[in-house]
Structure formats: C-alpha cells, structure tokens
Structure 1
Amino acid sequence: MPRDEPGPGRAEAMDRPQPSGAPDNRAWGSDAIADVLRALDIPFIALNPGASYRGLHDSLVNRLGNTAPQMLVCLHEEHAVSLAQGYYKACGRPIAAALHSNVGLMHGTMAIFNAWCDRVPVLVIGATGPVDAARRRPWIDWIHTAQDQGALIRNYVKWDAQPASVPATREALLRAHQIMTTAPRGPVYVNIDAAVQEMPLDSLPPPPDANRYRAPPPAAPDPALLANAVALLSGAKRPLILMGRVGRTEATWAERLRLAEHLRAKVGTDLKLPASFPTDHPLHLGAPGTFASPSLQAAMREADVILALDWVDLGGTLRSAGAEEGGPQVVLVSPDQRVHNGWSFDHGGLPPADLYFDNEPDPFVTALLAALPGDSPPPAAAAGPQPPATPSEGGLTIAGLAASLRRSTPGREVTLIRVPLGWDGALWHFRHPLDYLGQDGGGGIGSGPGMAVGAALALRGTGRLPVAVLGDGDTMMGLSALWTAAHYRVPLLVIVSNNRSFFNDEVHQERVAKERGRPVENKWVGQAISDPDPDFARLAEGLGLLGIGPATDEAALDAALARAIAHVEAGGTALVDARVAPGYAPSMASALTREPKHT
C-alpha cells in the first residue's frame, strides 16, 4: 500500500544522528549484525533502551544512520512488542522489537504471548551480559545474564536462539525471519551476547542476499482432496463459511466474496480477528462478535457443510453451538496445528474434520474458485451505509459513542484499530480489509495503546483515519505507549470508552453473586477505577497529545471528536475521554458467564 514520503514532522525525520567525523575503518560484531537487519528490509525496530545491546544500538545509529531500520523509542518493553504487532496487522510487514537482557524480556513476555496467539510475526531481538563469566562487569552483568534466557518464552515463540559468534548471529537472524514469516506465523527470539556485539572484527563480511533466505510460498492444496471439497461444497444445500485467519489484501477479500456468492453460502466472522468479509452483505449472518452469536450458532446446527477457514477455536465453537457430533460435515482449512504445543492451549478444542487441508486459507480459496463448476452468480447488493443518527439525550453509552463517531467521520475511510469488549458488532459495518484490525490475540490487557501506535504508523499514507476505541483499564495500563506516537508525529485518534471499571469482572462477580444468593449490588467492589477518576485528558496532554474530555453525552462527544479529528488530520495524536455507562452487548454478557457444555 502507498506510503508518505519522509519529510519534516514525519517519524523518519525524528532522531537524526550527527554525521560521523573522520572515517574509522574499525569494524565490530554489531556492525555485521546490523547489516543483516537492513538486508532483511526491516523498516523499524521498537525498543526501550538497554545496555545489554549497547553495541547493536551504536551500530544502528553510527553505521546505519538510524534508518532502515529506524529505532522507535518506547517507554516500556511491552509497548515495543505491541507496537510491532499492531504494525504488522495494519500492513502485513514485520518489524523488530529489542528487549534489554532478562529483565526487559520479562517485561515484554505478555506482549510476545499476544503476538503468538494472534499468529503475528515479530522479530524479537534480545541481549544478555557476556556468557563468558570472565568478561562480566561486577554486579550488573551478573544479574542481567541468564543461563537459558529463551526458556522464559520458548513455549510461545516459533523459534529462539542464543548464538555464540558473529557468523552464527547473522545466520540466526536470517533463519528467525524465515521461520516467523512462514505460516502459521508468530514471534521469534534471537538473544545476542553483549560480548559478540562488542567483538572487534578484522573486516566486515558482505551483507547477505536476504532473498535467498525468504519464507517458502504457500503450498497449494492436494488436488484429490480439493476435488472432494468441490463435490461436497457444490452439492451443499445449506453451506456455511466461517472466516477466520485469512488474507488481508483487497484481492483475497474479493475472492472470499466471490466464493460465498458462488456457493450461496452464509458467512460468519469473528470480532477477535480483523475484518474478513463485508458485514452488511446479505450472506453475512448477523453482527460479528467475540463469541458466536445465537444466529451464527443456529446456522452451524442447520448447515449441511461448514467450510472453516482457519477459524479460531473451531472445536470449542462447534461444541458450544451443539454442532459437533452428528452435525454438519466440516471442511477444515488451517495450517495452525504446526505450532500447537503442550504448554499453551490457545489452539482451542479439537475440531472434527471430514476434509482437512493443512493449507493457508488464501491459496485454498483461489484453487477452489478455479475448480468449482459453473459461473458465479451476479454479486448481491449490500446494505446502504449506517445512518448517522442525531445525538441522543442523556448519558453516553458505547452505542452512542459509535453513533457519534459515525456522525464525525462522513466520507472518511476509518480504520478501527481496536474496540473494547463491550462493543456490539452491529454498531459499525466493515466493508474493507482495513476497516477493522481485530483484538490482541491473547487477551493481555494493556496492549491496546501500543498496538494502536504501531497500526497508525503503518497506516500513514493510506488516506485512512486510524481510530482506537480502548477501554479505560487497557488505556491506563498501556498509556505511556502514546508518548511514542506523539514523539514520532504519528497521526492517531484514541477514544477511551471509559466506564470507570474493570467491568469484565463485574459481569463475572454478578454471576457468582446470583449463584450464591449474595448481593449483586456489591459486584463493583474491587473493580472500580474511581475516587479519584483518572483524568485522561490531562494525562494525554502530559505525554504530548491533544487531550479532550471528559465527554459525558453525545453532543459533547460530537464536539470533542470534531476537534480531535481535525488535529489528527493535521498530523497530530489526540485522545478523547468518553464517559460511557457500563454495559456489554447482550450476546457478549451471556457468553462470558454461561456454563460450558459438557460432553
């Protein structure tokens, strides 16, 4: 997708190093390592500075000129990884994150887990004090060196390495990049010994030809198995397609639309994942949700064939809908089993499959379309745009927040980077793969601000307005990530859906109180974010953003958004505090608290 050219006030214009003086012909291990990052075409490396990679830091600045990759200073290691995750989700291009020693890795672990569950590639570069104990400085190098640092995250990265020489480090980076960009994608970790970075070299090796170490192209589906799928889906009377982890390009979007219309299949989508199908299309079932809606569950039970395109937790979803045993035939398309392990259960329930394709969904859809008999029917007409209703009187709700945002953005292409748990999928239609970027994968609260910054950075030059609607708890945990957006002049609008509570747990406490015959009125105790209420507008101003609020009704929010959007479209970062009443969409509240079905 197009990108703006670097210029004054752009991220690329920030933090420009002074040119070197007299040429210094000496070379260092970190110089050779930095050359590999440039060869891999890594545009940015998000980091919180740390002495364990001071050698690499120097090479990025004084050898590469802090460009390709450019460092993005973050105020917490979690934000660095979250930023990289958000960047990839918006543009499909991986970047790096650097974490200082064992302590920085400990800070970053939750964000790495989120990226793992979200199947997002992040090149996590770690560092350690000298493994050779004789080279360690007193105290500090001892507490910042670990026997097996990668063991902290080995269960939720695709691969990790702690190379012991410059050539081994260069190879490890090439291998890590290849592995993380091969489906199913995910984060990788390369831990670079400080002594290796600071090792003097007689000469620099030439940069590698990274094209010779790229990920392989996606595999085509087995022809015989594909023929079986063609026969099964062509003969289906009530087919259903579950759109899961699928491609994000306009071309793959168009192919999925053609497939659904050719099969006249109903379609279900998932609010945990980015937009994958037009939600106002006549074939789309109801509104997308974090959990399958009643209408989608009913469609699963009524379908004769389900085509599952890498759906998240297909087994659990079918079981919850009562469509697992004796139900529809299932065509499963997913390479995800390649990364399942015994530590993390993010793989969900074991799904039944009558036909199982160990493929990415996109090449399968392409091959299926080419093999299906007959011509595609003419495209069905989509519903018209959601009307921008006039402001409602009274207190602000999440529905009112969405209505205000619609009124404030006529004619604009909006990317919803994130939405809070209380968001109802019916509040906003998705008609393009960049209309919505999904949740964080692992449910690690505090990830929203960092992901918003990374996504907004990647969206520059696309003509889209990046908007992150974040919960107040998520915002408070990750608030300092927004400084990075302000510093690097990243246009971004953050709306805090501020219900002044960790409300997800209020829902659970209400369920427990009802079961035990105890006062529901006490559900807020230990959950409230009040007395004092955080002043998000002043906190944002302190980080260099435009801060507005609190807005307590739709009219006030309309005015706040008009001011904030003008600021963002002028190149700034803005935060609006929207004081909403606590509450969830009915399907979300019931799904969070209902008892699971047992088999």
Structure 2
Amino acid sequence: MRPVEALLSVLRDEGVSTVFGNPGTTELPFVEALAGAPDLTYVLGVQEASVVAMADGYARAVRRPAFVSLHAAAGLANGLVGLLNASRSRTPLVVTAGQQDRRHLVHDPMLSGDLVGLARSAVKHAVEVQHARDLAVLLRRAFAEAVRPPAGPVLLSVPMDLLEEDGPVDPPPARSQLGGAGPAAGWREAAALLAGADRPAIVAGDGVGRADALAELVGVAEALGAVVFHQPMNDGLGFPTTHPLYASALEPRNSAIRAALEGHDVVFVAGARAFTAHHYEPGPPVPEGTSVVQLDDDPAEPGRVFPVALGLTGGIRETLAVLAEALDGRVPQASGRIAVAESAHTAARAALRERALAGYGDAPMDPLAAVHAVDAGLPADAVVVEEAITCGVLLRRLLPLERPRSYVHTVGGGLGSGIGMAVGSRLGDPSRPVVAVLGDGCALFGLQGLWSAARYDVPVVFVVMNNGEYRTLKDTVARRGRLDGFAPGCLDLRPPELDFTEAARFFGVDAVRAGSAEQVTEAVAKAVASGRPVLVDVPVTGREE
C-alpha cells in the first residue's frame, strides 16, 4: 500500500465522504488519488477561508469531523481565520496542509514555511509528518484528537514527496471504538444545591446543543422552575427559545451578565465556555453572593474564569439526564416559578413582535422590522446560519427555535464565515432548508463562498442585511463617547452603494433586492421554495428606529 492509498483508506474508515479544499502543486498526489476514488467527493472552494467555513458547517451538520485540504503556507494562512473560529466553536476538523518537497526545503522555495508554527495558535494540535510509515498513524490520532473534549481542529503538515513515495507502507491501524463519557461525579451534590436554591437560574451553553441534550436541559429547568439564558454570543441552540422558562441570550458584557443574574442565588452553567465578553469591563460577570454549579465535558473549563461552588466534568447529556430524573418532583415551587416566568416570557415576545410590526415599511427598512420579515418567510424546519452582528442580535430575540441544530453561528469572531458555513450546513444535511442571515460587512469577507454554492447548486438562501456601514463599531464608539474623533467615512461602506445582487450574479447565484418588509418575507419564502441558491439584498437603516 502506497502512502497516499493509506491516507484514503483512513479517510474512508473514519466515515469521510467529502473533502473540502483548494488544491495547489503540493496536493497533486492527493488530488490524483481522489480521481480514482469515486466514493470520495472533492468540494472545491476558490479561497481557503471559505473552504474551512464550509467544512465547519458540514462538521456540525453531520456531527463528526470534516476533512480539509489546504495548500502550503499561503493556503494555510488564508484558512487560519476559519481554524480560529472552529477552535473557539469546538468544531472537530482534520486539516492537511501540503508542505513543499523535503529535498527542496533547504532552498527556501516559494510557499514553504513552518506550517506547524503558523497553525499552532489556531488549532488544538499540529504536527509535520516526517516518514511515510507514520502518515496513517498520525492521521488516526488527528481524528481522535479532533473529537476529544474540547473538540477542535487538528493539523497535519504533509510534504509533497512523502505522498509520492512508491515504497509500500504497513496497512493503517484499525479504528478504535471509544466509549462515551458517563454522568459527572458529584451530580448528586449538584442536585442538592440546585434543589435548595430559592431563585435558581440556568445558563445554556453551546455544549448542550453539541451533545444533543436540549430535552435533558428542559427537564432540569422544568423540575427547578429555573429561568434559562443562552450563553453570550451562543453558537447554537442550547434551549428552545419558545419555552416559557426561556429568558434571553446574555449580552456579551460583564455588567450586563451581572445584571441579568442579579438576585439568583444559584446559577447552573451547563456546557458554556465561561462567559465570553466582547469588550473589557471591570468587575466579574457573576454577582457577589451567587453560587455557580458548572458542568462541562472539558475538565479545564469549570472554575477557569470565575469561581464555582461545584464543578462537574463528564458527559453533558448523561449528566443532565440523571439530574433531571433526580430533581423531578423534588421542588414543589417549580410550577409557580414556571407560571411567573411564562407570563414575563409571553409579554416580552409579544411586545417585541408589536414593535417589529410597527416598523414595517419601504427600504431602507428598520432593522427589527427587517429581521421579523425574514423570520416570517422561514419554513418551520429551517436552519438559520447567522453572521449579521447588529441585526443578528435582533434576530436572536425573535426566532422561535425549537429543533436541535436550528441555529448556527460562530463565537470565534473571524468575519466571513457565514456564506461558507451555510453551504457546508446544507451539504451536510440536505433534509433541512438553510437560510443565512448576513451583515453586509460579513458578506464582503466571505463572498467567494457564493462560487461554491453556484458550482454545486447548493440550495441556500443568503439574506444580506445591507446598512452600508460597520454599525457595531459605530455603536461601540458611541458608547465610549468618541465618535467625533473618527475620520469621516472610515466606518462606512458607501459610497459607492453596495448592490449585492450584482455580486451574487457575478458568481452565478440568482438574486433579488427587497423594496419593503413585505417583499422580504415574500422573497425569502420564494427563494427557499425554488430549490436553488438565491441571494436576497435587504437595505436597512443603520439602527432600529
């Protein structure tokens, strides 16, 4: 067996059927081998940031590691933003980057470099393969490491000449079957602390969604009658937003988190990576006198940022299941708490919808009205990929999300992921329609992903909230009272006017510009029904009126 054949054998055995990449000369041996492997599909992207974003969305949809092939130092550098996002979002990826021929490296050829050093800060682990006999073993390790908590991307640097070697290597080692984690030790103590709380609250982290544990967390919340917040800038759905106990997503500011949790004597943090604040503020996120019970599958997480009364490490779904069973019927006040929370939840959502409807009108539209109009055009089983920054905050408040994996975001902060992630999400799960809601600035960072959507005819609806400015920066500067100190136009995207329908058509994607809120709803619904990739350009004002 040749080294490249061993590589393909491991991919098949690990369940890989799709390779995301942008090839160069150092990947030619791999690409040539794929030509004779009809069971492995190569999904081409025309820029590596879009390639990694597609793989990220795909991995989340199929719930196993996605495989990515990048080209040398330059291709890896382009893909780093996606790898940083995947690391922060705990998305398992196995990435190979083609290194130059080892016999040529002494001459410092073009595109060569320290690929391991370049990638190290953006991935869980990185290693360069030195011997053909080691390739299959290291690839096996990469797949295992990618899913081991905390999950994330793993990189292998693979020299071109290593793949071209003709000498036989041993068959790949068999794939190991590893058991899942059980309930966390200390769950009984956690149940006692939660049952004894006078005003409990829960923070639902992205780990709940990744573990497919929404139902189990609902059971814990209902047994306690505890209000539930999403972690700041949540990447996915950790709790149904239509549930009477759902409060909101926490704002990514320590002062806002403290205010939301104030008065709760015990807070249960389930599967959340600490509390991600967007900007520095003095003071801790947890109010003084509030006890925290924190559960995570990563043993380094509990107590990492704020002190906890009890830290639990184990399977998130398994631990939530035993907690829900242990707490069931143990808290007589739960039903009364649920009734109070339901009243507040219903009133808040009704007031928000009323405010949105009051803003309906012609373009440029009120942002809250525009996102409400998008929601009105969504089918019930839609997956929403959101990278809209300021409009995204409004969208989160409105979306009635109930089904697991209905919402996709990245807390990584590297812009331009939304288009590629939406394409990968649909490729990974063709059974559900995918609608991407994008800010205009975010869309500009990742426009190349539209080429892949058109090339493979991936039926995704791309909705661009077009306000012509970096609104989130203006809002941040305004809060600091320094807007007058900025050079005119440095936070604006116009002139010229950005018409995203022209950009979409350049890449071969159908497009329409909405002239009113009603047209937004109609355009989204028609685009979903078309079964084609479609972009909807939605002109909005800079802020909610």
What's the TM-score, normalizing by structure 2?
A: 0.88
Confirm or deny that 1:221 pairs with 2:162: no
Q: CA deviation at 1:300?
A: 1.4
Confirm or deny that 1:80 pairs with 2:51: yes
Deviations 1:167-219 (A, max 9, x none): 201000000100111111010001111111000034x6445432x2x555224
Confirm or deny that 1:574 pairs with 2:539: no
Q: CA deviation at 1:116?
A: 0.6
Rounded to whole Å, the distance in 1 between the matches of 2:123 and 2:178 is: 17
Matched residue, 1:460? 430
Matched residue, 1:279? 241
Amino acid at match of 2:519: A
Deviations 1:406-451 (A, max 9, x none): 3323x532211114111313222222223212x2222111111111
Rounded to whole Å, the distance in 2 between the matches of 1:157 and 1:58 is: 28
Confirm or deny that 1:306 pairs with 2:270: no
SS in 2 for 1:30: helix
What's the TM-score, normalizing by structure 1?
A: 0.80
Amino acid at match of 2:18: F
Deviations 1:207-240 (A, max 9, x none): 5432x2x555224311xx2222121111111111
Matched residue, 1:406? 375
Confirm or deny that 1:536 pairs with 2:538: no
With over 3 angstroms needed to count, the CA separation of the structure-2 counterparts of 1:523 and 1:142, relative to structure 1, is: closer
SS in 1 for 2:311: strand
Rounded to whole Å, the distance in 2 between the matches of 1:375 and 1:538 is: 60
SS in 1 for 2:262: helix
With over 3 angstroms needed to count, the CA separation of the structure-2 counterparts of 1:290 and 1:118, relative to structure 1, is: farther
Matched residue, 2:20? 46
RMSD: 3.1
SS in 1 for 2:535: strand
**Given the alignment, which residue of 307, 327, 341 partners 1:372?**
327
Q: How many residue pairs end up in the alignment? A: 526
Rounded to whole Å, the distance in 2 between the matches of 1:465 and 1:315 is: 30
Gaps of 5+ in 2: none
Percent of matched pairs sharing the same residue = 25
Confirm or deny that 1:30 pairs with 2:9: no
1:267-346 equivalences in 2 (<5 Å): 267-270=228-231, 271-285=233-247, 287-291=248-252, 297-314=258-275, 324=286, 326-336=288-298, 338=300
Rounded to whole Å, the distance in 2 between the matches of 1:240 and 1:86 is: 31
- Contact map agreement 1:315 1:349 (CA 8 A) in 2: no
With over 3 angstroms needed to count, the CA separation of the structure-2 counterparts of 1:54 and 1:275, relative to structure 1, is: same
Matched residue, 2:306? 351
Rounded to whole Å, the distance in 2 between the matches of 1:554 and 1:316 is: 33
Matched residue, 1:145? 112
- Contact map agreement 1:315 1:350 (CA 8 A) in 2: no
Confirm or deny that 1:241 pairs with 2:207: no
Deviations 1:345-381 (A, max 9, x none): xx99721111111334222212322433636978978
Matched residue, 1:22? none
- Contact map agreement 1:242 1:306 (CA 8 A) in 2: yes
Rounded to whole Å, the distance in 1 between the matches of 2:263 and 2:487 is: 38
Q: CA deviation at 1:163?
A: 1.5
Matched residue, 1:209? 174
Matched residue, 1:432? 403
Confirm or deny that 1:100 pairs with 2:71: yes
Matched residue, 1:11? none
- Contact map agreement 2:360 2:366 (CA 8 A) in 1: no
Rounded to whole Å, the distance in 2 between the matches of 1:119 and 1:555 is: 38
- Contact map agreement 1:130 1:145 (CA 8 A) in 2: no
Matched residue, 1:546? 510
Rounded to whole Å, the distance in 2 between the matches of 1:187 and 1:236 is: 39
Rounded to whole Å, the distance in 1 between the matches of 2:285 and 2:498 is: 45
**Given the alignment, which residue of 477, 486, 491 partners 1:527?**
491
- Contact map agreement 1:314 1:348 (CA 8 A) in 2: no
